[in-house]
Structure 1
Amino acid sequence: MTEQTVLIAGAGPVGILNALGLARAGISVTVLERGSEVVQSPRAMVYHWSVLDGLERLGLFDAAAARGFLKQGYTYRVHATGEQVSFGLDALEGRVAHPYNLHLGQNALVELALEELSAFPHAKVLWNTEVHSIDQDDNVVRVRTISDCDPLVLTAQWLIGADGARSTVRESVGIAFDGHTWPERFVATNIRIDLEAHGWPLTTMLIDDRYGAIISKIDTTNLWRFTYCEDEALPVETVLDRMPEYFGAVFPGIDDIELVAFSPYRMHQRAAATFRAGRVLLAGDAAHATNPTGGLGLTSGLFDTYVLYEALAAVIDGRVSDEVLDEYARLRREVFVDKVSPAASANKKLVYHSGKGAALDEAMAGLRQLSSDPDALFARLMFPKSLETPSLVAEVHA
């Protein structure tokens, strides 16, 4: 039986960044990941300006910006008419430290964070280690795993479940995951093509009931993300057969698109009934799941991370009571339920279900206002900041 101060299930960005934050605070931490390496399939790739301060505190911002790129502009485009509305984050210049978004595949961020984590001898990652069951008492949490085909039991003072929407950690401690599943399937594709040369902005929200899509450049190698949705009742096995229709409709006349990777997945709007059960804490998709329109899932997970690792380190060091973790659980759940999920649902409706006629006109009127009303634009651009929970232990450092 092996003991650590903190165990973390899941080596995605939430798991690895929590590990890095704890390791930097001197806390011994082990990450358990069922896979053999960093997941490379298409996942989140846009980091809103509001989360970049946190990457800087973790020592990751410069390397992440160098590997990806910074961007300010957005374009909304109606597929049927070609109407475009564009605006940019330059309205934030002089008001915030990072007035731009970062584009970088989440796999690349995890790789950068793992490089940083490797410098701490009290931190490690166990690949090929699948969590099977959990039990806990007042003093420790025990995690039973299969690691490289052999049973392994680990104990720790605390366990963070960052193991995704199908979280074994959440299920093992009996926390409900309430909400609904959308009747559509999202298909995220990574394609290699110089779309800028064909007149496409760096990020386009393409509005249409059939061919609605999010089209965004991922990195400086002409890798782009093209995400569309289809009826979830269609066979997932034949996604590839239907894909050319979407490419042809959205990118007419562009024939040299290279499909690098794709990932079909179901979409949910769900939140765990609580983000804490004794010595078990939930963060990221294990705590809440949202459709990805607008990039609010990753944003929420990073804001969970920034406040959690700091609070947990303070508890372990004896600087604050563990009641601060109840506050983490309450506040982060409220942010998701009251702000993130409604906003993501509205974003999905706008891009994929705006319809035609009066409904579409009303949606476009709100977007057009952003081009003519600086106050409306500023309020919209500040929304991602409202998803942040301020430090729960800041007064400890004062």
Structure 2
Amino acid sequence: MALDQVRGLGDAVRAAPRPVRPCRRTHSGTRVRQELPVSTPPVIVAGGGPVGLATAFGLARAGVPEVLVIDRDTSVGTSPRAMVYLFPVLEGFDRLGLLDDLKAEAVRGPGVTFLDHETGEHFPQLVDTLEGVVAHPYALHIGQDQVSEILLRRLADFPGVQVRYGTELSGLAQDDDGVSVHLRTTAGEETVRAGWLVGADGAHSTVRRSLGLGFEGFTWPDRFISTNLRYDFTAHGLPIASWRIDQVYGAVIALINDSGLWRFTFREAGDLPDEGLEQRIHEHYATALPGGGDYELVQFAPYRIHQRAATTFRAGRVLLAGDAAHLTNPIGALGLTTGFLDSFVLSEALAAVVTGRADETVLDAYAHARRQVFLDLVSPRATQTKRLVFDTPPGPAKEAALAHLRHLSSDPDARREDQLTMRAMATPSLLGSASGR
């Protein structure tokens, strides 16, 4: 099995294949209604991950009568990916009525602490400075697979939403009136017609490629190894969210849930083979885990990391969101954060177009605004943070960066101002930017 499928101690952890998964079901997976017939939905969402599901939820909640979500995987992915969500995302989930569901399963975090591995100095960047300034002055730690499961449960409230896993988009064609989407399943092939298509189908987006869109940017020469493990980091003085600065031992370390499961992400050379990765993880742990001691490696996965954006986020009746539209390295929790912020504004705008409350030009506004946010704010910030944590050698540049962190740690006003810059990553409602029909 290829290592791009997440492995837990060498074994695949994905659920056994199943051709169709209804969206209305209990948390345990018990079916509570039969699959809906495929009709002509106003919107098809390609991608049954968190961004696609959040988009479907936002559309349904805003009055779109039918939404079809498709995903070629047979179930929600469980690979160790995004897990921390900051106040702009929490505000969006609050507007959708989903925040309480997340809080019920998440660990509440106080912010992140930078650690200089060489000196042991801590630079806490706590978000208590946002008390009374933003509605949710904290972070939530919860795996993106759990977020997807919550969204699936809540989508069951909307009988017009159908979620079909094990359904691959193999091609598309569009005209002035809609999009024809060609689907492939184990039962055969079919073509489904819709008014609009949202491509939220990830970094290797079939939707984006079918449109012939460029994916401009670069790929980092190294790659990240994301691991989930059980180890008592707090016993060795680490807070529940840390970014450790070092060219060799740089790492992202964060508590995932109350069961004692932690995320530990480090980097290695991008040209190393997949073979032997598990052994290299254990070898890295031997010197990288603070204090040594026993641990349990639960899951791991290697990821190439990129800074890329599609040349446009709209092509006719097709729109892109999340990793299909843009990719960033995950340092700073800005990858899925940006995808959710896409979803919140896109679902509102597209629902208004579908229901006749806004002109299609609002979708051009979406495509422009979200691409500029990524290029001007998200990618530069994530790039700067990645270079600080993993790539900065000892010397004047590192000392200047640490001095800045030291200043933010000791000056609550400066820290608040820095943290509030994230608000600009959330695009306000665009409905005022298009005339009603």
Q: Which moved more, 1:131-140 or 1:82-91?
A: 82-91
Give the TM-score normalised by the residue count of structure 2: 0.89
Determine the structure 2 residue equivalent to 1:366.
404
Contact 2:83–2:256 (Cα < 8 Å) also in 1: yes
Structure 2 letter corresponding to 1:240 = E
Match of 1:225 in 2: 263
CA contact (8 A) 2:362 2:433 kept: no
Q: 1:395 to 1:230 in 2, by over 3 A?
A: closer
Tell me the CA shift for residue 298 of structure 1.
Answer: 1.1
How is 1:162-311 mapped onto 2 (pairs within 5 angstroms)?
162-311=200-349
Alignment-derived partner of residue 22 in structure 1? 59
Partner of 1:388: 426
- Aligned equivalents of 1:270, 1:395: Cα separation in 2: 27
Q: Report the Cα distance in structure 2 between the residues aligned to 1:152 and 1:199, rounded to whole angstroms.
A: 56
Q: Is the 8 A contact 1:213 1:229 kept in 2?
A: yes
CA contact (8 A) 2:84 2:141 kept: yes
Aligned to 2:168: 130
What SS class does the counterpart of residue 76 from structure 2 fall into? coil
Q: 2:103 matched to which residue of 1?
A: 65
Alpha-carbon distance in 2 for matches of 1:271, 1:314: 26
Q: For each residue in 1:352-377, what CA deviation from the matched residue of structure 2 results, as whole angstroms up to 9, or x when unmatched?
A: 01111222211101100112223321
1:120 is matched with which residue? 158
Cα distance, 1:254 vs structure 2: 2.9
- Assess if the C-alpha contact under 8 Å between 1:284 and 1:298 holds in 2: yes
Q: CA deviation at 1:190?
A: 0.7
Q: For 2:55 and 2:290, locate their aligned partners in 1 and report how far apart those are by CA, in whole Å.
A: 44
Superposed displacement of residue 312, structure 1: 0.3
Residues 93-117 of structure 1, C-alpha deviation per residue, up to 9 Å, x if partnerless?
0111100011100100110010000
Indicate the SS of the match to 1:185.
Answer: strand
Give the Cα–Cα distance (whole angstroms) in 2 for the partners of residues 107 and 37 of structure 1.
10
Shift of 1:3: 1.6
Q: Is contact 1:6–1:30 with CA below 8 Å preserved after alignment?
A: yes
Q: Hey, which of these two has a bigger chunk of helix by percent? A: 1
Distance in structure 1 (CA, Å) of the matches to 2:432 and 2:136: 22
Moved more, 351-360 or 132-141: 351-360
Question: Secondary structure in 2 aligned to 1:55?
Answer: helix
Deviations 1:22-48 (A, max 9, x none): 111231101001111110010100001
Q: Secondary structure at the match of 1:182?
A: strand
- Whether the aligned pair in 1 keeps the contact of 2:102 and 2:150 (CA below 8 Å) is yes
Query: Where does the alignment leave 5 or more consecutive residues of structure 2 unmatched?
Result: 1-37
Instruction: String of CA shifts for 1:115-144, please: whole Å, max 9, x gaps.
Output: 000121100101100111010000010110
Aligned pairs for 1:152-171 (under 5 A) are: 152-171=190-209
Q: Structure 1 regions of 5+ residues with no counterpart?
A: none
CA RMSD of aligned residues (A): 1.6
| SS of 1:31 mapped into structure 2 | strand
Q: Which amino acid aligns with 2:61?
A: R
Secondary structure of the structure 2 residue equivalent to 1:356: coil
How far the C-alpha of 1:148 sits from its partner, in A, is 2.6
Question: In 1, distance between residues paired with 2:94 and 2:186?
Answer: 35
- Larger deviation: 119-128 or 232-241? 232-241
Q: How does 1:20-169 map to 2 (within 5 A)?
A: 20-27=57-64, 28-169=66-207
Aligned to 2:7: none
C-alpha contact 2:63 2:355 (8 A) present in aligned 1: no
Map of 1:344 onto structure 2? 382
2:233–2:290: 8 Å Cα contact kept in structure 1? no
What is the deviation of 1:395? Answer: 8.5
User: In structure 2, the residue corresponding to 1:384 is in which secondary structure?
Assistant: helix
Q: CA deviation at 1:296?
A: 0.7
Q: Secondary structure at the match of 1:180?
A: strand
| Deviation readout 1:41-68 (Å, 9 max, x if unpaired) | 1010000111101111222111111101
Letter in 1 for 2:49: G
Cα distance in 2, alignment partners of residues 98 and 378 from structure 1:
14
Q: Is the 8 A contact 1:2 1:153 kept in 2?
A: no
What SS class does the counterpart of residue 195 from structure 2 fall into? strand
* Whole-angstrom distance in 1 between the partners of 2:112 and 2:373: 25
Q: Which amino acid aligns with 1:7?
A: I
Q: Is residue 87–residue 137 contact of structure 2 (8 Å, CA) maintained in 1? A: yes
Q: In structure 2, how many angstroms separate the alpha carbons of the residues matched to 1:392 and 1:348?
A: 32
Q: How far apart are the structure 2 equivalents of 1:77 and 1:226? A: 14
Contact 1:354 1:363 in 2 (8 A): no
Work out the CA distance in 2 between the residues paired with 1:134 and 1:220.
44
**Letter of the structure 2 residue corresponding to residue 246 of structure 1:** H
d(CA) in 1 for partners of 2:306, 2:197: 25
Identity in percent: 50
Other structure's SS at 2:309 match: strand
- Cα deviation per residue 1:306-342 (whole Å; 9 max; x = unaligned)? 1000000100111111000000000000000111111
Q: Which residue identity does 2:304 align to in structure 1?
A: R
More moved, 129-138 vs 145-154: 145-154
